[in-house]
Amino acid sequence: MDLVLTVLEGHGLVVAGEKEGVVGPGSVVCVPAGTPRSVRAHTRLVALAVVSPPPTAADHVEVEAALAEQAA
């Protein structure tokens, strides 16, 4: 899924593939589908994330399993 992330408040670090950059209010980051990506907040971070195409339930299985394991 392609991702467009717009930072509304706060500051953080976005990693997209081999690139990384500090983001803050007004930053817009576009990451193509298939590119490993992560976001780390340095402060309280409010962002709008838009993905295309919309994710399906199957896209969330791995994340939900990891969260359940951490909660146990």
3-state secondary structure 58-70: HHHHHHHHHHHHH
Q: What confidence score (pLDDT) does residue 56 get? A: 87
Beta-carbon neighbour count of residue 27 at 10 Å? Answer: 16
pLDDT at 57: 87
pTM: 0.78
Q: Strand 37-41 to strand 2-9: parallel, antiparallel, or no bridges (unpaired)?
A: unpaired
Could you state, in chain order, the average pLDDT of each consecutive group of 10 residues for the chain (72 residues)?
96 96 98 94 98 88 90 86
Q: What is the pLDDT of residue 18?
A: 95
